[in-house]
Amino acid sequence: MPSISHLTEEFFRTLPFFWKPLLLTFELTVASVIVGSIIGLFVALLKVSKFKLGQIIANVYIMVIRGTPLIVQIFVLYFGFYKMIDLGQFWSAALALAIHSGAYIAEIFRGSIQSIDKGQMEAGLSLGMSSSQTMRRIILPQAMKRSIPPLGNQFILSLKESSLAAFIAMDELFSLARRLSAETFDEMTYFLIVALYYLVIVMIFTYVVHRMEKRLAKGDV
């Protein structure tokens, strides 16, 4: 176990190296959550639709993502995107993560959509609006609001999961820790330091989500 003073020393010594990987981790996470949300919304709408084939496609997608290890998904999707359609490194990795988180985000959206009182759809229909108009104008805005706290949690998960991008040669946080430890054989020090980085970001973000949750709860009916 490295001493506290050694850890502190190394933390400050390596601080400048961490800036770029930190940014990349953040970019990967934001990109994958945004794209994942778009995928998730589309899949959630398929799931709540009456369109049988759509439901089947959505279910198979969610089953495959839930039923296989993330690292395997990342390798398959990354090399698929990178080699076959030449998306470049960043977007291949971001899309791989997005397709993964999309399945979980779809379940978040589906849950929120189904949590909206049935009377809302009936009110829209009884007023002569179509079901898609009611979905878009009445159900989704309310469901989106309810999705914000669980989406915040998904963001935290995605942030941690983005560390697996180190294995596809992305120079993000975890990858830097691996490199530093390989150079110095002082593994514990750098993995502890990178853990601290993740922990601090997650704590900051948890706080933000918590605050948002409280604000939303106040505005609720």
Q: Using CB atoms within 10 A of its CB, is residue 119 exposed (0-12), middle (13-18) or buried (19+)?
A: exposed
Rounded CA separation 114/17 (Å): 46
Question: Is 129 strand, coil or helix?
Answer: coil
Q: Which is nearer to another protein, 114 or 126 (CB)?
A: 126
Residues lying near another protein in the complex (CB under 8 A):
117, 119-120, 122-130, 133, 137-138, 141-142, 145, 221
| Shortest CB 129 distance to another protein, Å | 5
Q: Which is nearer to another protein, 127 or 169 (CB)?
A: 127
Q: Which is nearer to another protein, 8 or 114 (CB)?
A: 114
Half-sphere exposure for 174 (CA within 13 Å, toward CB): 16
Q: Which is nearer to another protein, 135 or 151 (CB)?
A: 135
Buried b / exposed e along 177-186 (16+ C-beta atoms within 10 A): bbebbeeeee
CA-wise closest residue to 70 among 59, 58, 78: 78
| Shortest CB 10 distance to another protein, Å | 51
| Shortest CB 50 distance to another protein, Å | 13
Angle subtended at Cα 29 by Cα 25 and Cα 31, rounded to the nearest 5 degrees = 120
| Shortest CB 91 distance to another protein, Å | 35
Q: Which is nearer to another protein, 88 or 141 (CB)?
A: 141
| Shortest CB 136 distance to another protein, Å | 9
